[in-house]
Structure 1
Amino acid sequence: MRILYPFAKRFIAGENLETALKNIYKLNDNGYLCTIDVLGEDTHNPGQAENARDEYIALLKAIETHHMPLDLSLKLSQMGLSIDPALCRKNVEAVIDAAGQHTVRFDMEGSNLTQAILDMCLELHQPHSNLGIVVQAYLHRTEKDVATMIDKQISVRLCKGAYKEPADIAFQDMQAIRENFLKLAHPLLKEGHLPAIATHDETLIRHILQFIEKEKIAPETFYFELLYGVRRDLQKHLLDQGYQVRIYVPYGSAWLPYTLRRLAERKENILFVIKSLVQETLGLGKLGK
């Protein structure tokens, strides 16, 4: 399956830390902030979970003298959540303690883990104020979860959601997902703590730009977050307009399962990649400031 790597490397910063850091520093030099994801999830034994923990700690040691703040995106299934929640918590706290002033953010996974991920975030946020969370707009429950995170002033990254979920718990129609995304984004932007709007959808971004102008929301109070290698034209446009733009940067040896899983989970993921490449080639729509 090595034949897929030339395709995957457009969206992955490297197979190892050394290569990834070169790409991360280049992004920083160009004015972008970064969220770093060490690829891997669904570990099957404690040793694998501890290796994932150690990879994040090695990353943090490597950037000790780096002047830019970073987000670390952790998948709790990678940290051992499905093996032993206590083991997962121990591994996560080791990463948070090593992170210092950098943010650690629990990535969201399939709905079978949603409640456990949110519970651990709420449990650990009080002693670790640099902890944040990701929520998915296509889940019916997310409106309530966003309200909780705003109340606790936990930093939220809002995304549409990439996993295939049934209709009884998730919106299936893209227009319904967009409407819910905006419904959630508005209170996050007005009342949340340093939220990130994570989308490449120009329709959503256009509405967000109009909303922040109308509400006079300061650019330094939120972020736009976009995927590494996806819609680089859109990334630059937002950065040039004076907004904080954070790039989600995955790296690691598990690039193949990551790529195959993302493409296999939902047909929309394949269409998204193809559409993004075409849109970047054709250029931006009328976004404005």
Structure 2
Amino acid sequence: MAYILDKLVVLFRLPKVVANDLVRFWTIDDHFYCDLVKSWHGYHPALMQDNYTLQTEQGISFYLGFGTYGRDYTSNNMDAKLEFNPAKVGNSAWFKNLYYLLVQRAKFIDFRRFDVAIDLPVSRTQLRMLKDNRKYTLLDYGGEDRTEYLGVRSAHGNCKLYNKALEMKIARNLTRLELTLDYSNSAWNEFERIFPRVLDLHSISPPDGLHGTDKVLYLACAADPALLRELPFRTKKKIEQLLATTAQFIKPDKTSYESILTEILTFGNIVDVEKWANLYDTDEELPEEWTKPKMFIADEGEQQKF
């Protein structure tokens, strides 16, 4: 069972000139701050005003947006949102250049949200995520192609269970469980609280005294949990209860999760303590020295330290 930091969302409050300078660099095809793949304007509260898909020297894409939708930026500062997969772009020199620039020019920084991916070497049909008080959604296209969701997409406490092997087009059993957490509410006890109940059915055995039709249904549904939907309500609840009391549950691992939190902190080790703030609660203006149109260039020593 492998834990992976799958996505990190970082918010910045920056001078407007930073966005202008970066767009100019991308326009002249300068690779120092990554390559521009595409750009678009946002017209929805969930989006930023100006959005960019960028690419590292290895061809790995990530997202950067400027300007919160619906906000009138009459002052010299604006907000920016960076979303990236640390496992993919963390070693990119181009990405480090861009990240260092954003950190150095920012007045305030906020680690907003992150995703934890847990890879399980188990067939997708052998895992079942149980519904709790969160919204439950199932997309079932038959066989191994099924995805279960708990919670609200991209919100704290959202969970997703899907066939990663099918997505990667590899011939082995690999199911991924993803959890989304707000960084401000990411202590171990909170991770443990929102961790979903996922039944692992591949190693179950029928309880003593189970015979006849119930045993046949138990074994059939253990092999293919989708069959539960075909059963009458009372029978379904009975078999579900038997499976829940005899199957093992996937359990959260504290050491692995704490290693994720440590990895996130590596992206904060170059941030001045005074810059940390919740951007949703901070409305301070940028001082004059931050708004001058001067492009920051990190020297070699600083980049090696990062």
TM-score (norm 1): 0.27
> Quick check: which one's strand share is greater?
2
- Please identify the structure whose Cα radius of gyration is greater: 2
